[in-house]
Homo-oligomer: A and B are copies of this chain.
């Protein structure tokens, strides 16, 4: 992944008021991310397969080149992932119509179900733990989530 995006202009002007905040945020985010990853317990499909399937579920059918570009892997690598999903009956592969070189990859009903169920299971670990927080803490997390998302998008 390339991470050479330029800094926002404002970032070059203001001094950091709390030098330890960066470390604190980084460590907290990495630890929780690791904990969440450990809750997957999804034995049916691998991470790479689920990620590709979820993208198709979310954005609809697309070609192999588009899928590999969106997932940040090479076409040969995506061919392998797609083959595994086809073998498991989670995808269909059809002609693209206008361009006979292209294929159109689309989740099956089983594929759509798997995405929905897996997502609910992954949220399922976190949901009761968030419910155990105070309303004020949840409000803080809601606001922080938006900030974290903006940081990750840079």
Contacts and interface: CB of A to CB of B under 8 A. Distances in A.
Contacts of A17: 130-131, 135, 138
Given A1-B47, A36-B29, A130 B21 contact: yes
A31 B152 contact: yes
B54 A2 contact: yes
A149 B26 CA distance: 11
Interface stretch (A4-12, A93-101, A102-110): A4-12
A117 B63 CA distance: 40
Copies held by the complex: 2
Interface in A97-154: 116, 119-120, 122-123, 125-133, 135, 137-138, 140-149, 151-154
A18 B134 CA distance: 12
Nearest to A119: B8
Contacts of A28: 144-146, 148-149, 152
Interface of A: 1-12, 14-19, 21-39, 47, 50-51, 54-55, 58, 72, 116, 119-120, 122-123, 125-133, 135, 137-138, 140-149, 151-154
* Nearest 8 interchain pairs by C-beta: A144-B144, A33-B33, A11-B128, A31-B152, A11-B132, A32-B152, A28-B148, A22-B126
